[in-house]
């Protein structure tokens, strides 16, 4: 009990957010006794207390998912307090061992395992994601909240336009979107810029949904959805777009996936690589890998650029959109909560209380992670060319010409 109380005393000393913890024996701890708590944590079992001491925040979260811990009040502030107090930092040896085992069991070394990992998350069904993503493009990646943006829909279309401008798209060009989701980027790029292209995705459910949308829009022969691994992109293209794929390459597959981006790009062609990356080299958060994105791995910006250099790609521009992802996740979390009753009704066994707890923690904690002034996880957009370019604009001015506030 002393060790557990010390855990929360450490958090309480570093965070200004008032909270109370009630232990399994009925005793409690408050960091600010004169203020009403923003949240209350209640341990229901001794096992949950032991798990928190042994496994830190991972043990705490897993006990919360199992309903051995209850949390009343503001989940967002609870997560923020934990981060401010360092509860999520420096995983202990038991968590590091579990992370290594996860890599051995679920790493993306084979195409089959990579597909199974992707389906675990992205194969939950279009109906599920439709409740909380933007319409009509359903972009499940960081949006772009330029000045004047008020809605998720505007922010995602800002992002699509931003990427299209970076790619310098022109009518008649052939574009590949690696990890295309439901095809939103290609639909937007075709509508606004007159390109044709191929979307590559390893998740059968998303490929099927994209093909249905292609047929609904009458775009057969102009847009195609291909089910393939990100290391097996068919053909070569004028432009390459990759939005939110590199995080799923896997710890040891970064080189292969970057090389595939290079191989499918024509000499002199332009690509955009949009991905979550670390500043420095760190282990990827274990509980996210175990419960949300099996096999996922967040690469360092430095090792990504080194892999691009080895693949013969010239880095033209790097932009950091970290703070934009915090706002995007805020919007997703709010919509997820607002539509939980409808999500639960889709399949009460699949979308149960355990699922709800996991996904709320995932959405809110990632928002706080990207918001944190002390975090090392960022969102990068890298513009690159195949070989040294002589034609790309000399400044970023072209990105902003003719822009109006939404």
Per-residue pLDDT tens for 119-172? 999 999 999 999 999 999 999 999 999 999 999 999 999 999 999 999 999 999
Catalytic residues: 366
State whether 321 and 229 are in the same domain: yes
| pTM of structure | 0.95
Tally of domains in the chain:
2
Per the domain annotation, does 393 fall within a domain?
yes
Q: Does residue 12 register a pLDDT over 90?
A: yes
State whether 119 and 260 are in the same domain: yes
Last residue of a domain, one of 90, 124, 146: 90
Q: Does residue 371 register a pLDDT over 90?
A: yes
**pLDDT for the residue 34:** 83
Per the domain annotation, does 99 fall within a domain?
no
Per the domain annotation, does 102 fall within a domain?
no
Residue tagged 């400044």 (tokens): 395
**Helices 184-193 and 152-167, axial angle in degrees (round to 10):** 70
State whether 130 and 195 are in the same domain: yes
Residue tagged 């038991």 (tokens): 94
State whether 182 and 266 are in the same domain: yes
Q: What is the CATH number of the domain that holds 6?
A: 3.30.1050
**Helices 353-371 and 322-338, axial angle in degrees (round to 10):** 160
Of 14, 122, 2, which Cα lies nearest the Cα of 53? 2
Per the domain annotation, does 391 fall within a domain?
yes
State whether 80 and 127 are in the same domain: no
Phi, psi for residue 314 in degrees, rounded to 5:
-95, 125
**pLDDT for the residue 406:** 42
Of 237, 281, 278, which Cα lies nearest the Cα of 260? 237
CA–CA separation, 299 and 324 (whole Å): 19
Dihedral sign (CA 275, 257, 226, 175): positive
CA–CA separation, 59 and 157 (whole Å): 39
- The DSSP secondary structure of 236-297, one letter per residue, reads -EEEEEEES-GGGS-TT-HHHHHHHHHHTEEEEEEEEEEEEEESS--PPPHHHHHHTSTT--
Q: What is the CATH number of the domain that holds 371?
A: 3.40.50.150
Q: Give the pLDDT confidence of 280-338 residue by residue, as tens digits.
A: 999 999 999 999 999 999 999 999 999 999 999 999 999 999 999 999 999 999 999 99
State whether 86 and 190 are in the same domain: no
Residue tagged 């274990």 (tokens): 286
Structural domain boundaries enclosing 37: 2-90
Strand, helix or coil for residue 69: strand
């Amino acid at each position: 009990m002393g060790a557990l109380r010390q855990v929360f005393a450490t958090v309480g000393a570093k965070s200004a957010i008032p909270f109370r913890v009630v232990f399994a024996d009925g005793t409690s701890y408050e960091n600010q006794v004169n203020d009403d708590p923003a949240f209350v944590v209640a341990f229901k079992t001794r096992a949950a207390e032991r798990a928190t001491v042994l496994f830190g925040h991972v043990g705490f979260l897993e006990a919360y998912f199992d309903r051995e811990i209850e949390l009343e009040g503001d989940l967002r502030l609870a997560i923020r307090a934990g981060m401010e107090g360092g509860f999520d930092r420096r995983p202990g040896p038991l968590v590091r061992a579990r992370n290594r085992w996860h890599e051995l069991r679920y790493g993306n070394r084979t195409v089959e395992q990579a597909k199974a990992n992707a389906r675990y998350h992205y194969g939950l069904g279009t109906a599920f994601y439709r409740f909380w993503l933007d319409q009509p493009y359903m972009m499940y990646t960081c949006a772009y909240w330029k000045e004047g943006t008020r809605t998720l829909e505007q922010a995602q279309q800002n992002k699509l336009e931003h990427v299209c401008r970076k790619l310098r798209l022109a009518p008649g060009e052939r574009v590949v979107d690696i990890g295309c989701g439901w095809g939103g980027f290609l639909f937007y790029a075709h509508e606004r810029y007159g390109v044709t292209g191929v979307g590559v995705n390893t998740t059968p459910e998303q490929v099927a949904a994209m093909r249905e949308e292609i047929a609904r829009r009458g775009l057969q022969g102009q847009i195609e959805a291909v089910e393939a691994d990100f290391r097996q992109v068919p053909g070569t293209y004028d432009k390459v777009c990759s939005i939110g794929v590199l995080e799923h390459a896997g710890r040891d597959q970064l080189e292969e996936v970057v090389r595939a981006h290079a191989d499918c790009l024509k000499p002199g062609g332009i690509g955009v690589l949009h991905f979550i990356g670390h500043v420095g080299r760190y282990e990827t958060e274990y509980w996210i890998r175990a419960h949300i994105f099996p096999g996922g791995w967040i690469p360092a910006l430095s090792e990504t650029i080194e892999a691009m250099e080895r693949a013969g790609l010239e880095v033209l521009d790097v932009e950091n959109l970290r703070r934009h992802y915090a706002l995007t996740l805020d919007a997703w979390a709010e919509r997820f909560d607002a539509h939980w009753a409808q999500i639960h009704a889709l399949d009460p066994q699949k979308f149960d209380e355990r699922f709800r707890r996991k996904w709320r923690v995932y959405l809110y904690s990632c928002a706080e992670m990207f918001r944190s002034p002390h975090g090392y996880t960022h969102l990068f957009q890298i513009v690159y060319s195949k070989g040294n370019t002589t034609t790309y604009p000399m400044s970023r001015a072209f990105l902003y010409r003719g822009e109006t506030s939404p």
